[in-house]
Amino acid sequence: MLLAVTTYRQFLSQVNHKSFRQLFQMSNKSSAVADQAKNLIKHNTVVVFSKTACPYCVKDNVIMDGVVTKNQIDDGNSYQQVLGEITSARSVPRIFVAGKCIGGGDDTKALDKKGELEKMLKKADAIQD
């Protein structure tokens, strides 16, 4: 046990303090992004995480037009990492309705084609009859 402590102390003494500080800041930033993403999902009926240059995202934006308000968020890569942790998929678009992930672009298109997306949105009071 003492050997592990000594080894750990040796490791800490050799760590570049700047690198350690950057790692700590990245960890805090990641935690803040995770909290923000979870709050967006929790406090909004419909949330679509997408990228402006993604063709699948553009298709979903057309489907969801009038249902969601578009807000630009910086640091999309951090959000994609968090989405990977939350949903096991970090690809975008990632769509949440009433706090539940309904999937990505293909999933949304399939739900829309079957009429299920409209039912989900009505049930969540995201759209009216």
Dihedral over alpha carbons 36, 37, 43, 48 (to 10 degrees) = 140
Residue 39 sits in a domain whose CATH number is 3.40.30.10
Residue at 75 is within a domain:
yes
Residue at 59 is within a domain:
yes
Residues shown for the chain: 129
Domains held by the chain: number: 1
**What are 94's strand-pairing partners?**
49
Residue at 17 is within a domain:
no
Residue at 5 is within a domain:
no
Listing DSSP states for 21-38 in one string gives HHHHHHHHHHHHHHHHHH
Residue at 103 is within a domain:
yes
pLDDT digits (tens, 9 = 90+) for 2-47: 444 445 555 555 555 555 555 445 455 678 889 999 999 999 999 9
pLDDT digits (tens, 9 = 90+) for 39-79: 999 999 999 888 888 887 777 677 777 777 677 777 788 88
Q: State which residues form the domain around 34.
A: 30-123
Query: Quick one: which of 93, 86, 84 has its CA closest to 63?
Result: 93
Q: Which two tokens stand for residue 27?
A: 């960890």
**What are 46's strand-pairing partners?**
97
Specify the 3-state DSSP secondary structure of 1.
coil
Q: Which pTM value belongs to this model?
A: 0.73
Residue at 112 is within a domain:
yes
Residue at 68 is within a domain:
yes
Residue at 6 is within a domain:
no
